Amino acid sequence: MSEQSLPSRTVTPDLVRHVARLSRLALDESHVARYAGQLQSILGYVTKIGEVDVSDVEPMAHAAPLHNVLRDDAVSPPLPREKVLQNAPEIDGPFFKVPKIIGGDEDSAG
């Protein structure tokens, strides 16, 4: 994006109100001037970024090189039932015991 394509626009209180309305934000009038200054500052930084020569920079999705850190799926023998259940808060025989969610008292009256 060249510097000429970046709009040099002053952020006015009316523009802040317009953006707030488009964003469906209820904006308190006491904050309009402060937000105008903050948005003008942000646009200044965007303009600075637009001045950087990035013609030799290859497009990327992330600044750091990423790779899949997960291990490959491999078939292995299952854990013994006792080991699986050892950290369960409650068990009922060979099963995990969990609170009833569906089919409670109010569902069974009928």
Confidence (pLDDT) at 7: 54
Would you give the DSSP letter of residue 58?
Answer: P
pLDDT tens by residue, the chain, 110 residues:
444 444 567 899 999 999 999 999 999 999 999 999 999 999 999 999 989 998 998 888 888 887 777 888 899 999 999 999 999 999 999 999 998 888 766 655 54
Confidence (pLDDT) at 108: 53
Confidence (pLDDT) at 8: 62
Q: Find all residues with CB under 8 Å of 53, minimum gap 6, and list them.
A: none
Confidence (pLDDT) at 1: 44
Location of structure tokens 């369960």: 88
Location of structure tokens 């109010």: 106
List the one residue out of 83, 6, 86, 75 whose CA is nearest residue 42.
6
Confidence (pLDDT) at 2: 44
